[in-house]
Amino acid sequence: MNDRLLSLRVLSRTARLASFSAAARELGLSQSSASRIVAELEAELGVALLTRTTRAVALTETGADYLERGEAVLDAMEEADHVARGDGRLKGRLRIGLSSSFGLRMIVPRLPAFLTRHPDLSVDLAVSDNHQDLVSEGIDIAFRLGSMADSTAVARRLGASPRVLAASPDYLAARTPINEPNDLAHHDLIAGPGVTPQELVFTRGEENQRTRPSGRVTCAANEGATAAARAGLGLTVSSAWGIAAELTAGTLVRVLPDWSLGEVELHAVFPPGRQPRPAARALANWMSD
């Protein structure tokens, strides 16, 4: 049974990482051992589970069906081990999906205390601004901002941050004052992840103001839009989390603080069709707290 569980682990990590060498490094094996273990499993089953090329490996249709059931077994065994230990101790490797802006700014600084609490746990940070496929990329938990209404993944809301309008002190000093949202018609807005060319809706109590500001700078990443705002190229819209360091340092100043642009929700997202791993649940709890 232990040999079969090892075979499942090697198959799972090889498929998710699309590499025998990467899976072998993660599991503390040689590449030849990882390849041999999967080959022996295929021989025992009499089917091909992976297709192999000189560049990568991928699951066959049969392999995908087999692994879907096999990973459920691995998850159940990990949960059973966790419950049996009874001390909350976490072991193994946790793969975390992060964005290059929010993830590195807000999640990574909170990992040292979490790992100190769980010394037998290691983490693999999958950093990307693209929408990550949790299943194919082998991600156990991802942190995402925004609505999850259309997602098939399992999501847990951890909190929310206000969307804020901000600009550099130099930009504000050089331009006409902004006393209400309608004044933005005379200003440059950086189009980024926090704002599209569509109109912005500001609220203050029962009062609403809609404005459609323009600008000459567009950036799809929060870090780029924030850097452009720091450089004085215009105003930016971001979650307060996304520009917390700049607001604290004074390199960006919040504009129209009495008006609301709504909230940005933060979710912990888990792969669909599987029970979240104990370590993934623990990390979500940690970040929520």
**pLDDT for the residue numbered 1:** 41
The DSSP call for residue 54 is S
- Residue 51: is it exposed, middle or buried by C-beta count within 10 angstroms (0-12/13-18/19+)? exposed
Q: Going by C-beta distance under 8 Å and a sequence separation of 6 or more, which residues neighbour residue 281?
A: none
Q: For the whole model, what pTM was predicted?
A: 0.73
Asked whether 134 and 271 are in contact (CB, 8 A), the reply is: yes
Q: Going by C-beta distance under 8 Å and a sequence separation of 6 or more, which residues neighbour residue 1?
A: none
Q: Going by C-beta distance under 8 Å and a sequence separation of 6 or more, which residues neighbour residue 282?
A: 88, 90, 114, 118
Domain with CATH 3.40.190.290 in the chain: 161-262
**pLDDT for the residue numbered 18:** 82
**pLDDT for the residue numbered 79:** 67
Domain with CATH 1.10.10.10 in the chain: 1-87
Query: Cα–Cα distances in Å, from 252 out to 16, 58, 148, 171, 185?
Result: 41, 46, 29, 10, 20
Nearest Cα neighbor of 123 from 149, 142, 146 is: 142
Asked whether 178 and 256 are in contact (CB, 8 A), the reply is: yes
The three-point CA angle 179-191-101 to 5° equals: 105
Which residues of the chain register pLDDT less than 70? 1-2, 79, 82-88, 149-153, 193-198
pLDDT tens sequence across 142-164? 998 887 765 666 889 999 999 99
User: What is the rounded distance in angstroms from the CA atom of residue 286 to the CA atom of residue 289?
Assistant: 5
Say which CATH topology domain 161-262 has: D-Maltodextrin-Binding Protein; domain 2 (3.40.190)
Say which CATH topology domain 1-87 has: Arc Repressor Mutant, subunit A (1.10.10)
pLDDT tens sequence across 231-263? 999 999 999 988 999 999 999 999 999 999 999
